[in-house]
Amino acid sequence: MDFTKSEYYINRELSWVRFNDRVLSEAENAEILLFERLKFLSISASNLDEFFMVRVASLKDMVHAGYTKKDIAGLRPKEQLDMLVEVLHPFVEKQYRIYEELRRSCAGVGLEIIEHHEDLDEEDGVYVDRYFQDSVYPVLTPMAVDASRPFPLIHNKSLNICALLSRRGGEHIGKQSSKGKKEDKEERTEEERDLEFATVQVPGVLPRFVLLPQRASDESKKIRIIRLEEVIERNIRKLFLNFKVVDAAPFRVMRNADLTIEEEEAEDLLQEIEKQIRKRQWGEAIRLEVEEGIDKRLLKILKKELRISQEDIYKISGPLDLTFLMKVYGLDGFGKYKIKSKEPQAVPEIQRDIDIFTSIRQGDILLHHPYQTFEPVVRFVEEAAKDPNVLAIKQTLYRVSGNSPIVRALAEAAQNGKQVSVLVELKARFDEENNIGWARMLEKAGCHVIYGLVGLKTHCKICLVVRREEDGIRRYVHLGTGNYNDATAKLYTDMGLLTCGERVGEDATAVFNMLSGYSEPVGWNRLSLAPLWLKKRLIKLIHRERDNALKGRTSGIKAKMNSICDRDVIAALYEAAASGVKVDLMVRGICCLRVGIPGVSDNIHVYSIVGDYLEHSRIFIFDNDHDPEVFMSSADWMPRNLERRVEIMFPIEDQALKKEAIHIIDLQLKDNVKKRVMQPDGTYLIPPIPEGEERICCQEIFGVEAAKKASNAQRKKTKDARVFIPMENPG
């Protein structure tokens, strides 16, 4: 049977839009606290920006290049773009319907978001005008467009205000050249020839909204804000004193931000990436957002100068760039409309008064973030940097925080004379600039910095500490599903393993020898690496479950990941399911697999959880005839992860930790609050909770369980520390 038919697959881009719709549905959910809904709306907008800059841009590149190869679902690039036009315009309209609903709800709880500067009364108008004059005007640079001043570069994602000016209102500043372009004059009507175009960028260095002063008469102490672009638009005539402003409107451009790096041709990869980052600002315009009701003449100019097609213009009935809502979320005074931040719990196996290496020698330690603190991972590197018995530290860095304690510890280790090797992945999308800075700092501190492998991204998360001990050299290893980022570790669910297992340590050494030199191991003890071995291992494990089912043995696959769109892996799952293997997949984002295909995927169920934390961990469980094998990984089941990245899949071998990993998956599968169930048409539904059934929200329960473990460990420690002192005989 052919399991690779295109009708068995869902288009990747459409699946992503459905994922973002699940994010947006959290903003729509009236059962969620109001400010959390604002946050989800902001996230959906940020997600959409990146989707345009990378995925839509990539499809446009393919169309320009004449690329006509069909995707996994049988669609050519042009067909995919046409499909996206059909779904993305309604998606944006839905975002703004929800925004208006949330804005009205905010007004009811003491936050008034003033939409238009015309709605300001005289007192507020005076305050706003003074703010403009004192704080905004000095920063602005109005840009006129005429024969001597070409249309300016409109930066990617920047918010701008365009204006239509009439010369009849005053003397033109700097006379227009008489050598105007003939074709331009012929294209413009007589009325348009009397008008000028100008634009001004809304400065990103200033807050996106202005807090208006509270009124003494307002007993409710309502907080009122107005967006910066409205303040500028109200005062825009002050930027063009000798002209009459006929009309003004905000606009925003999204550009192609997908870097094209010729690594083999680049003499210096770092310099090449720096050059490509700058190009992001003037890549092809792929999306234009304008205010609904913009003057047709303004839109005509923007469309022509930006060379953008009609279907890529989004007319917005509300504020452009809804990511500003994340700043609104941060306003003080609305705590009861936000989820109370939960402190990550201590890891019971790691004690403050015992060095971390002693704790790891007592047994493998499984970390579950953010329910458990990321501090042990930071401590692992910090203690290694100071420990005189540590000889070397080797680590990969993909995305780190802006003030990373791990990077500081690595620099300190090098300064302490240890051998420190760090692979900094310069091609981590949208973190390139940040990573270049870290790489240079680490080099100055004396670290050996590697910039990754040509043609591959190094996405694996591994840290190796080589330590001299009484019985010889011992290797300690941390392996993770997420980044070495102490900030996102509080927001993303991820898993980590701390071990000093000899076989894993040998593999870790081989990984770094491969990354830093030309050493390519013949085989591996415990780890499976992409791009050469991991995919083969996955398919082999899936086939083993298929074979067990065919032989009448118990079988089953449970897997959790961010995305699945690799045709070979999906075909193997179809084959296994058709042979009787039950497959449960917890896929947060993109899923190109279809459920419910008779004789193909009847036994496959796909779920997705969108909750307070971003589900980011990758856990794979194979029944293996009642002897389950459990793996965790940095890799999703996507071609880019399995074929074009350095990734690691690692086993969980300790029986107690295996049970814990299986419990994590099983509890997520039982979730009836945030778990959405994929339908045969590729959409997702949250089934209603049957009357009388217990409410199960896995993210809430994981938090409770982590707190209980930490509390029990503390009680046990306190009990063990007590010393029994018998009372003196009172007689």
* Catalytic sites, residue numbers: 459
Return the half-sphere exposure (C-beta side, CA atoms, 13 A cut-off) of residue 589.
21
**Which two structure tokens, joined as six digits, stand for 124?**
């507020």
Q: What is the CA radius of gyration of the chain?
A: 29
595, 584 contact by CB (below 8 A): no
**What stretch of H or E contains 678?**
strand 675-678
Q: Note every long-range contact of 301-306, with CB atoms under 8 Å and residues 24 or more positions apart, other chains counting.
A: 301/145, 301/162, 301/197, 302/162, 302/251, 305/145, 305/151, 306/154, 306/253
Neighbours of 148 (CB within 10 A): 12
The secondary structure of the chain in percent helix, strand, coil, rounded to multiples of 5, reads 40, 20, 35
Residue 699 backbone dihedrals phi, psi, to 5 degrees: -65, -40
| DSSP result, 30-84 | TTS-HHHHHHHHHHHHHHHHHHIIIIIHHHHHHHHTT-----TTS--HHHHHHHH
One-letter amino acid for residue 116 of the chain: H
Q: In angstroms, rounded to a whole number, what is the distance separating the alpha carbons of residues 204 and 335?
A: 27
Q: In angstroms, rounded to a whole number, what is the distance separating the alpha carbons of residues 121 and 529?
A: 64
Contacts of 604 (CB under 8 A, 6+ apart): 573, 574, 577, 583, 585, 593, 595
Neighbours of 163 (CB within 10 A): 24
According to DSSP, the β-strands at 390-397 and 419-424 are: parallel
SS3 369: strand
**What stretch of H or E contains 432?**
helix 432-445
Q: In angstroms, rounded to a whole number, what is the distance separating the alpha carbons of residues 77 and 67?
A: 7
SS3 314: strand
The end-to-end CA distance of the chain, in Å, is 91
